[in-house]
């Protein structure tokens, strides 16, 4: 009786490296995307701190610098979206479980909240006037 051997698939080393998620990968991508977006906005705004010299090859000619800045800004926004997306992914099923209140119930809660805020603001205002009167000696 012969023993069957399992065929082991050879994984591509490149595919393994690209699909491995590293510990600080998202943090690094977020920092780089933020910095590149800030640099792009500095170029777009015409800030004197960061200008592309007219003698610089390719980017210094015509509108190439502005086009480069807009492309860099779009890439940085895409990078930020890639960083932020995994944090919101688990929230989507939870949002589907929400039952929204009817309009009368919403109105009731909104009115109660506003009344509470007005009362709290009045209480703090009275307390402030009392403390000011005790410290300064007169009402402002």
For the chain, give the DSSP string: -PPPPPPPPPPPHHHHHHHPPPTTHHHHHHHHHHHHHHHHHHHHHT-TTS---TTSTTTTSTTHHHHHHHHHHHHHHHHHHHHHHHHHTTHHHHHHT--PPPHHHHHHHHHHHHHHHHHHHHHHHHHHHHHHHHHHSS--
Q: Do 74 and 111 share a structural domain?
A: no
Residues 118 and 54 in one domain: no
Same domain as 56, residue 124 = no
In a domain, 12, yes or no: no
Q: Is residue 5 part of a domain?
A: no
On whether both 71 and 110 belong to a single domain, the answer is no
- pLDDT tens digits, residue range 70-80? 999 999 999 99
Q: Which structural domain range is residue 128 located in?
A: 99-136
Which of 59-63, 82-86, 88-92, 110-114 is predicted least confidently? 59-63
Instruction: Indicate if the pLDDT at residue 59 is higher than 70.
Output: yes
For the stretch 5-23, pLDDT in tens is 666 667 777 777 667 777 7
């Amino acid at each position: 009786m012969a023993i069957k051997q399992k065929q082991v698939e050879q994984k591509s080393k490149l595919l393994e490296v690209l699909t491995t998620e590293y510990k600080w990968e998202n943090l690094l991508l977020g920092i780089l995307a933020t910095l590149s977006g800030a640099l792009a906005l500095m170029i777009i705004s015409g800030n004197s701190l960061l200008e592309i010299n007219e003698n610089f090859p390719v980017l210094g000619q015509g509108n190439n610098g502005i086009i480069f800045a807009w492309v860099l800004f779009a890439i940085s926004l895409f990078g930020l979206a890639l960083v932020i997306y995994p944090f919101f992914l688990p929230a989507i099923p939870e949002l589907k479980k929400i039952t929204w209140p009817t309009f009368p119930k919403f109105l009731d809660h909104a009115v109660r909240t506003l009344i509470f805020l007005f009362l709290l603001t009045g209480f703090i205002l009275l307390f402030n006037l009392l403390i000011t009167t005790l410290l300064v000696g007169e009402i402002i």
